[in-house]
Chain A
Amino acid sequence: SQKIEQNSEALNIQEGKTATLTCNYTNYSPAYLQWYRQDPGRGPVFLLLIRENEKEKRKERLKVTFDTTLKQTLFHITASQPADSATYLCALSNTGNQFYFGTGTSLTVIP
């Protein structure tokens, strides 16, 4: 089965800086990669989806990249704000439609 590792359990950054979260996977290259945000006591909220034939996807202050050679996806939040503080989950699926989530990175943006 697929194994996913998110770079760290917790990440603290200063407001206004760019936060970069890493997600590495083993085995086969996924067909789709997704990033979700989860706040305490709530379900995950979809942020971005990137397909295996795409290198980069952007949405407002968010950017995700997909490097099949490194078996890695990077998630960037530019001009970070305290309201961006949350746990961020990466998730991947293959064409066989198994869906795997990372354990998440807790981001804290310090004012």
Chain B
Amino acid sequence: KAGVTQTPRYLIKTRGQQVTLSCSPISGHRSVSWYQQTPGQGLQFLFEYFSETQRNKGNFPGRFSGRQFSNSRSEMNVSTLELGDSALYLCASSSAPGPGNTEAFFGQGTRLTVV
């Protein structure tokens, strides 16, 4: 079956702009979680959605938000972009709510560069 699909793969934005990233989970998976990966901080948990509800949230400012649709697809939005938001953004899907207590399947990520 198809894996986790993230679009777009690459994105360049200007400081102050906003960006929306998309994640389509594996068919049948209702949990989607988002992560930011940078060389300095590593992989950090942003938030998790299950059945359209945000269940858990990491330690990120309110500029980072997300939502999940009835078909389990999820979007992540970052407003008022800062240079430090440049990172690889990964989403992962799971068959059960988590995160961390069940196997997660990651997408290839969206590489965001803020200039």
Contact = CB atoms under 8 A, between A and B. Distances in A.
B108 A43 contact: yes
A92 B106 contact: no
A43 B45 contact: no
Interface stretch (B53-61, B63-71, B73-81): B53-61
Nearest to B48: A97
B106 A43 contact: yes
Interface residues of A, number: 27
Given A44-B43, A98-B56, A100-B45, A93 B104 contact: no
Interface string B1-19: 0001000000000000000
Interface string B90-115: 10100000111111111111000000
Contacts, number: 70
A2 to B, nearest CB: 11
Among B90, B98, B104, chain A packs the most CB atoms within 10 A around the CB of: B104
Nearest to B92: A43
Interface string A24-67: 00000011101010000111111001000000000000000000
B28 interface: no
Contacts of A34: 100, 104
B101 A42 contact: no
27 contacts: A30-B100, A32-B100, A42-B108, A43-B4, A43-B90, A43-B92, A44-B90, A49-B101, A49-B102, A49-B103, A89-B43, A91-B43, A92-B100, A93-B100, A94-B100, A96-B56, A97-B48, A97-B55, A97-B98, A97-B99, A99-B48, A99-B56, A99-B58, A99-B99, A99-B100, A100-B45, A101-B42
